[in-house]
């Protein structure tokens, strides 16, 4: 449904629990409250596999009395799907917040950010919220404010200490488009991600290949700040793909 949810109950979801596989849901706070009160997705829609969520009004910095109902609704929704597509980082934070109020979304295997960008810290937060994640699709925009004040030489140790093997099941990270220059720049982020994603075997950087990338890989592998983790980066050249 490529429009705001127009109903005052869960009529859209009635009678299709055994057939609905894909859902595009554009919601506002009222729609979330309505679907939450109707206990939508409670013990139903077990064949639903893909959910695309557009929630333009979500603000992770604002809390209200309805938050618990909202998070319970998101937990019910996301715990019956394998692939979640968020329109922007706003929706992603809604799901992260819901996971933090529950036990994490164990069954999500794929997460895709449709528009906008995500920082490395936000990526690590997504991996923590979705511990079973196998594939992540997004464009990265930097370290994030939470990591920018940490000295570059101390960053590998910090990431490992703070996040451990948070992405222990992640195998593929795909960036929709990366220019050659940004591809070279982002290899530092790939290396940091590999420290906490031991099974990462493919990083698709569309448009980010070339001799500059190969030279940067050699530079990263030989840098002093990654010396303690050199064995984890042995396959960096093999992992990075066009």
Report the SS3 class of residue 86: strand
Helix crossing, 120-129 with 89-100: angle to 10°?
A: 40
User: What is the overall mean pLDDT for the chain?
Assistant: 82
Per the domain annotation, does 125 fall within a domain?
no
Q: Does residue 53 contact residue 27 with C-beta atoms inside 8 Å?
A: yes
Give me the sheet containing 50-54, strands edge to edge: 22-26, 50-54, 83-86, 110-113, 135-137, 172-175, 202-205, 240-241
**4 and 107: one domain?**
yes
> Quick check: is 132 in a domain?
no
Domain that includes residue 159, residue range = 138-242
87 and 143 part of one domain = no
Number of domains forming the structure of the chain? 2
Residue 131 in any domain: the answer is: no
Considering 84, 116, 148, which residue would you say is the last residue of a domain? 116
Same structural domain, 71 and 165: no
Q: At 135, is the pLDDT very low, low, confident or very high (cuts 50, 70, 90)?
A: very high
Q: What tokens does 74 get?
A: 């998101």
Tell the residue number behind the tokens 């840098």, with chain if given.
223
Q: Is 76 exposed, middle or buried (0-12, 13-18, 19+ CB in 10 A)?
A: buried
Q: Which residue, 208, 203, 192, is CA-closest to 240?
A: 203
Per residue in 199-238, pLDDT (tens digit) is 999 998 776 555 667 788 888 889 999 999 999 999 888 8
Is the pLDDT reported for residue 61 higher than 90? Answer: no
pTM for this entry:
0.83
Average pLDDT over residues 102-126: 84
């Amino acid at each position: 449904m490529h429009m705001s949810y127009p109903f005052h109950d869960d009529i859209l979801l009635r009678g299709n629990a055994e057939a609905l596989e894909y859902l595009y849901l554009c919601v506002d706070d009222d729609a979330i409250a309505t679907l939450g009160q109707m206990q939508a997705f409670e013990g139903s829609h077990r064949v639903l596999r893909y959910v695309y969520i557009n929630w333009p009004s979500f603000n992770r910095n604002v809390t209200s009395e309805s938050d618990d109902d909202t998070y319970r609704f998101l937990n019910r929704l996301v715990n019956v799907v394998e692939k979640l597509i968020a329109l922007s980082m706003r929706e992603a934070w809604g799901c992260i917040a819901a996971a933090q109020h529950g036990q994490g979304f164990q069954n999500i295997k794929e997460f895709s950010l449709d528009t906008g960008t995500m920082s490395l810290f936000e990526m690590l937060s997504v991996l923590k919220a979705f511990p079973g994640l196998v594939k992540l699709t997004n464009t990265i925009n930097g370290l994030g404010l939470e990591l920018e004040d940490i000295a570059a030489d101390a960053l590998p140790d910090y990431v490992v200490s703070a996040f451990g093997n948070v992405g222990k099941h992640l195998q593929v990270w795909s960036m929709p488009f990366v220019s050659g220059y940004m591809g070279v720049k982002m290899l530092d982020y790939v290396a940091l991600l590999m420290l906490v994603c031991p099974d990462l075997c493919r990083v698709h950087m569309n448009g980010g290949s070339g001799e500059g990338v190969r030279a940067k890989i050699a530079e990263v592998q030989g840098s002093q700040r990654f010396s303690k983790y050199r064995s984890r980066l042995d396959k960096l050249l093999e992992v990075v793909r066009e």
